[in-house]
Structure 1
Amino acid sequence: MTISNDWFYWAICSAIFAALTAIFAKIGLQGVDSDLATLIRTFVIFIVLSCFVAAMGKWQNPLQLSFKTWLFLILSGLATGASWVCYFRALKIGEASKVAPVDKLSLLLVAIFAVVFLNERPSLREWLGIGLVGLGVFVLGFKR
């Protein structure tokens, strides 16, 4: 990998932590409502990220951000919250080994939304990989 592919290492780390999230959450959801568990998780994330931003000297005045930045970060936060609520409810009642892969249907949806809203153009090879992930989700999601 070249320097320009540093994003790939961060994405691999994201996948590892996302996998651990599913396992830890499934265990942690025993005996607790999924919405309360999501709130606790969100609080932990808030504390950890606050410490990280402060320690790395990345704090800036949020009032200096543009309206567009605020709007889309708020929309992203709302989408994240809705995703987490749905994910934790699915984990509460389903198997992690099935819920997590179906959740990755987001990969296919991101590709479609990126084409429509961001004018991105994945290559044929990239579409093949994205399509295979989508196919895998449908194989998992449908019973005979």
Structure 2
Amino acid sequence: MKALLTSWQAWALGSAIFAALTAIFAKIGITGVNSDFATFVRTVVILLVIALMLTLAGNWQAPGSVPAKSWIFLVLSGLATGASWLCYFRALQIGKASQVAPVDKLSVVFVAVFAVLVLGEQLSAAHWIAVLMIGGGALLLALPI
């Protein structure tokens, strides 16, 4: 059990499952609600849950102990997350969850490309084939057929 809790694969799978539930719950909940307001509600809920988790685990950290570079990139990450959520909820309001979610998952393709270009990570030929397959699959799911 301890190995499972320290496995990045287990946490990533949990992320994927909760992301899938996010799409389904949001599609149901957004009916008759402005997508920006829906994003606000989601953000407040997340803020409260994370604050509770930090409090219960005793993991609050003094802001002064966070390096300036970390602050800059955490703020940029937050801005990107907010923009992503605003776009995602608007897309869900207009489109079908079964088509919006796969296009949203093109982020996997973008992460691979950005990781190579920005972080200097290397992908094998097999990994690039997988990235192309993910991209192709997401695009096929998005087609109105």
TM-score over 0.5 for the pair: yes
Map of 1:42 onto structure 2: 43
Map of 1:111 onto structure 2: 112
Amino acid paired to 2:70 = T
Aligned length: 142
Map of 1:134 onto structure 2: 135
Aligned pairs (5 A) from 1:80-91:
80-91=81-92
CA distance in 1, matches of 2:126, 2:63: 40
CA distance in 2, matches of 1:56, 1:97: 36
Map of 1:28 onto structure 2: 29
RMSD: 1.6
The alpha carbon displacement at 1:142 in A equals 4.4
CA distance in 1, matches of 2:19, 2:43: 15
Map of 1:61 onto structure 2: 62
CA distance in 1, matches of 2:128, 2:120: 15
TM-score by length of 1: 0.93
Map of 1:71 onto structure 2: 72
CA distance in 2, matches of 1:17, 1:138: 22
CA distance in 2, matches of 1:6, 1:126: 20
Distance 1:75 1:13, change over 3 A: same
The alpha carbon displacement at 1:139 in A equals 2.0
CA distance in 1, matches of 2:141, 2:9: 26
Map of 1:16 onto structure 2: 17
TM-score by length of 2: 0.93
CA distance in 2, matches of 1:104, 1:27: 20
Unpaired runs of 5+ residues, structure 1, are none
* Overall identity of the aligned pairs, in %: 54
- Deviates further, 100-109 or 117-126: 117-126
The alpha carbon displacement at 1:24 in A equals 0.3
The alpha carbon displacement at 1:63 in A equals 2.1
